[in-house]
Amino acid sequence: MKKRSAEFTEIEHETIWLTTYNVNNKRPLLVDFSDWFNFPDQPAIVVIGLQEMDMSAEALLLQEMASRSEPWEQVFAQYLNKKGKYHHVTTKQLCGILLCVYIREDCKPYCSGGTDAICPTGIMGIMGNKGGVAARLSLHESSFCFITSHFNAFQNNVERRNQDFQDIHKGLLFNLSPTSPPIGLKEHDNLYWLGDLNYRIDLEDLVVRAKIKEQKYDELYENDQLRVQRAASKVFNGWMEGPINFAPTYKYDSGCDEYDTSEKHRIPAWTDRILYKSTDSKLLSYGRHELTLSDHRPVSALFNVVIKKVIPHKKEKVLRELAKQLEDIINNGKPEPVLSTTSCHFPELIQYGKEATFTISIENVGKVGAEWEFKAKNEEMIVSKPWLSMYPMKGWIESGDKADVEFTILVDKNTAPGVCAFREKLRDLVVLHFKYGPDFFVDVVAKYQKTCLGNSIVTLCKHPHPVRRNTPISTASLAVPKELWRMLDWLSKNALSTPALFKSPVSEKTIELIQEALDTGKDFPNPSQESVNAMLRALQRFLKHLMEPVIPYSCFFDVLNNSENYYSAKKVIEKLPPQHANVCTCISLKLILAGL
C-alpha cells in the first residue's frame, strides 16, 4: 500500500512552526513573550524545545521524574490560545531538555501515532544534562519527527558535539507496539532537529563582536563550526538549514542586550539552530527573537509542508486490486525470490561503537509480486540478536524488480549485554519470510574486536590481564578493574602539572591509542597536554559505557538524599556492591592526587 500511496492520496499544504530556547534555568515569571510567539496565521503543528529548563540535582539524576515544566507549559497554552484552538499532543522531558508538541484543533481527528523517546548523553552517558528528546506523529498519511537536543559545550569540543549527534541519531527509537521492532528517525517523511547544538565561531572574540556590529553575518558564518563540519560530512549529512541573517544568539548577559562581559568573555556564537531533512518541506522564515530572560535568544522557523491526504474511494480501488493480486498469487502461482547470498559474512573486524553494514539483494523472478518480512524463529520472541538490525524489516517486490536489504551490526552500551564480554565471534541466524513463498535462513557472521568497553565492573575484575590476551578467567577477583586503575594511576602522576584540563582540543586518534593500550596492555602515550586531556576523555568514555554505572541505578535515591553529608555518604558507599564501592573510593583518591 505504501508503494502505491500516490494513487490514493491528494496533496494539501499546511504550515508548521518550530522554536528552540535555552532558558538558562530561568522561570517564566512576569515576562512578555509576545515577540517570541509572533508567528503568522495558525500553523497546523507547533513544536517548542527548551534546554536548561531544569538543572536541579534531582532532575540530573531522575531525568524524567522531576519536572519544572508546568509553568512553561502554561505560558505556551496562554500564547497559543491567542492564535487559535490548539490540542496538546505530547510533552517529553529529559532533565533540562523539554519538548512540547501541539496541533491545531481542526487537525486533531487526522493526527495519529503520537509517541516519544529520549537519549541521554550527559555525565557517564546516563544523566540528562545533555542529550536529546524526540516526538513523532502522523497527520493524514504524512509522518513527522521532531528532535530537540543539548550538545556538549566549550569552544574546542567540536568532535564531542559531532559524537552527540551520532549517539542521539542512533539512540532515539520509537516503540510503536509490543510485537514490532522499534523504528528510528529515518522511518519518517519529515525530520526536524532543533536545540542548543553549542557549535561556536572559530574567530577571535573582538573580531566576532566587530563583525556583529557591522552585520557581516556571512563572514562569521564562513567560520561557523557547524557549517564547517557539515561541509566535511562529519555531522547532519543530508540535512538542511536556512540562511542565517541574524546575530549570534549566545552568550548574553542575562536581562540585557550585551554580549558576555564576564571574565570568561565567551565568544558570541549561533549555538541555537533548527535543521530539517524533508523533501516535502519549504522553509518560509528562520530567525531569532528578542527575549532577555536568558543568556540565549530563542530561534524559530516556519515551514510550508506537504500533507498527503487519503481519497477513500481511490484507496478502496487500490485495496481491491491488491486483493485480486493476492488471489492470483494463491490461485495461479507463488512468488519466486532469489537472494544474492544467504551467507552474510562481514569482511571487516567489528569494533565497539562503530556500525558495520552488509547488503544483500533480493530479486523477484516470478510472475507475481512478493511480500516479505523478517520473522522470529520458532519459539523465539525476537527477530534478531540485539547487536544486529535489518533495514527495511519488510517490503513488497513487484515481478522482475529487485530490492536491497542492509544488515547492520552495532555493539555499544545498549547491545553489549547480548555479547559475551570477551567473545571473538558474533553469529546469528535470521528468517526472511515470503508470504505464499519460501523462507530463507540468512547466516550472519562477524569477528568482534574484544574490548573492555561495554562490560560490567564485576566482569572486568575477573580478568586480571588485558582483554585481548587469551587468558582464562581468574578464580580470584581484582578489587577494581585493571583498566580503571591504569588510567587513574597515570592521571595521578601526570595531570597535576597540566593546564587547561577538559578544555584543550583532543583528537579522537589519541583517545583510540589509549583505548588500544587498555585492551592490549601496551604503554600509554607520553605525557603531554593533549594526552592528559585525552586520558580524561578515555576515562569518561570507560565510565559512560559500563554495563551498569558505578553508582547502581537502585542506589541513586540514597546517593541523592545523602550527598551533602560526609558520614551519611560514606555509609551509602559502604552499602554498594564491594567492587562498585572500591571503584568509588579509588576514583575519589586518585583524582584528588591528580589535582582534579
DSSP line for 464-492? -S-TTS--PPPSS--SS-HHHHHHHHHHH
Average pLDDT estimate for 480-504: 86
61, amino acid identity: L
550 or 596, greater pLDDT: 550
**Three cell numbers written together for 392:** 527495511
Are residues 121 and 164 in contact, defined by beta-carbon separation less than 8 angstroms? yes
Average pLDDT estimate for 321-349: 84
| Cβ atoms within 10 Å, residue 220 | 24
User: Which phi and psi (to 5°) does residue 2 adopt?
Assistant: -65, -40
Q: Are strands 272-277 and 190-196 parallel, antiparallel or unpaired?
A: antiparallel
Could you give the CA distance from residue 459 to residue 80 in angstroms, rounded to a whole number? 53
Q: What is the pLDDT of residue 57?
A: 53
Average pLDDT estimate for 285-294: 96
Q: What is the pLDDT of residue 67?
A: 60
Could you give the CA distance from residue 596 to residue 588 in angstroms, rounded to a whole number? 9
398 or 65, greater pLDDT: 398
Q: What is the pLDDT of residue 553?
A: 80
Mean pLDDT of the chain: 88
Return the percentage of the chain with pLDDT > 90, whole number: 60
Q: Return the bridge partners of 307, or none.
A: 12
Alpha-carbon distances of 533 from 292, 499, 527, rounded to whole Å:
36, 10, 10
pLDDT score of 60 more than 70: no
Alpha-helical runs (H) found in 18-130: 57-62, 69-83
Phi-psi region of 425 (alpha: psi -120 to 50; beta: other; left: phi over 0): beta
In order of start, what are the domains of the chain with their CATH numbers? 8-310 (3.60.10.10), 336-447 (2.60.40.10), 457-593 (1.10.555.10)
Q: What is the pLDDT of residue 2?
A: 67
Q: Return the bridge partners of 247, or none.
A: none
pLDDT score of 588 more than 90: no
pLDDT score of 126 more than 50: no
At residue 534, the 3 state secondary structure works out as helix
What is the chain's length?
Answer: 596
**Three cell numbers written together for 205:** 572574540
Q: What is the per-residue pLDDT across 32-54, written as a single tens digit (0 to 9) for each?
A: 999 999 998 899 999 999 999 98
At residue 364, the 3 state secondary structure works out as strand
At residue 188, the 3 state secondary structure works out as coil
Are residues 425 and 392 in contact, defined by beta-carbon separation less than 8 angstroms? no
Q: Are strands 388-391 and 402-409 parallel, antiparallel or unpaired?
A: antiparallel
| Cβ atoms within 10 Å, residue 371 | 18
Q: What is the per-residue pLDDT across 224-236, written as a single tens digit (0 to 9) for each?
A: 999 999 999 999 9
**Three cell numbers written together for 7:** 494513487
